[in-house]
Amino acid sequence: MRFDDFVGNPLPAMTERIKVRLRDQEMDFFTYGEAFPPPLLYFKSRFVNEEFPNYPEQRAFEEQLEGLRLFDLSGYGPPAETFWGTLRRARWTVEGYKLERSTDIPALAVACGERFTFRDLIECGDTWERTRINNCPLTADSYNALADLARLVLDPVVDYFGSIKLTYGFCSSALKRLIGSGIAPELDQHCAHEKTRTGRLICSREGAAVDLKVEDEDMADVVNWISINTPYDRIYFYGSHRPIHVSYGPNHSRQIVDMKTAAQNRRVPQVRRPKH
């Protein structure tokens, strides 16, 4: 097999393959280019040893790639076009021997996971519907966080329960000022990775959050399913027939908070252990 930049590329593309048929001592030659897209070699470290250039970096890259849980890398792995398209939709890029988050600002119509667009997570909620304010994130990291939330939490919920209703999504500084009371932007992750005018993160927990409801379902059952089947960060449960708050973030705290009603309709958070 011959590859394009086998030494310097963590995902070298095959340019030529020679197959030797031992039974009849014949050889078949295959070349890859425009007619036949070059396949990628996904685990190059299996074909080299520890003395090969950039071997530690190659192994680290492969572990990082597997950790994304984006691909079925068994067998030959996905075609190159599928691989690069999936990586791009999840907002990752390959920079040398590292996977880095995307730094571009996507259009609202761009897919955010498999079931949503960025517009779905940004232009939702009663206050936005009433005001139609420009609620777009200013940082690429916020879009990355929304994409992670959609892919790892929201898409699985839709796949299992069917359609869901998003009642509150991303919250920009402008939208936050219009909502006023009843929210905790420093804690709830609805502001994603947005910053104050002084450059400080609005919510140090980072990640992203939405409030959602599944019609005709006991939301206690939805909470239980999410806690078992997704890598959520935090869930706030307000009652069986009210929307829940769910987030995904780097802390991976896997915390469920029951919002109990106390005197004078005051909400008191009570943390409980998730079921496994």
Residues 141 and 208 in one domain: yes
* Structure-model confidence comparison of residues 264 and 67, the more confident one: 67
Residue 156 domain-assigned (yes or no): yes
Same structural domain, 181 and 215? yes
> What CATH number did the domain enclosing 239 receive?
3.30.1380.10
As for how many domains the chain has, the answer is 2
- β-partners of residue 27 are 20
Q: What is the pLDDT of residue 264?
A: 61
State whether residue 141 is helix, strand or coil: helix
pLDDT of 260 strictly over 90? no
In this predicted model, which residue has the larger pLDDT, 180 or 178?
A: 178
Are 213 and 119 part of one and the same domain? yes
DSSP bridge partners of 14: 3
* Model pLDDT for residues 69-112, shown as the tens digit of each residue: 899 998 899 999 999 999 999 999 999 999 999 999 999 999 99
User: In terms of domains, do 39 and 93 share one?
Assistant: yes
pLDDT reported for residue 263: 60
Tokens of 248: 């995904």
Question: pLDDT value at position 180?
Answer: 76
- Based on the domain organization, do 74 and 207 belong to the same domain? no
Asked, for residue 163, whether it belongs to a domain, the answer is: yes
Give residue 105's pLDDT.
97
Residue 106 lies in a domain: no
Q: What is the mean pLDDT of the chain?
A: 93
Q: Report yes or no on 67 lying in a domain.
A: yes
Give the pLDDT score at 33: 86
| 16, 27 Cβ separation under 8 angstroms | no
pLDDT digits (tens, 9 = 90+) for 139-162: 999 999 999 999 999 999 999 999
With a cut of 60, say whether residue 276 has pLDDT above it.
no
Q: Name the pTM for this structure.
A: 0.89
Cross-strand bridge partners of residue 77 = none
Question: Are 117 and 248 found together in one domain?
Answer: yes
Domain range enclosing 34: 2-101
Give the residue from 101, 125, 159 where a domain finishes.
101
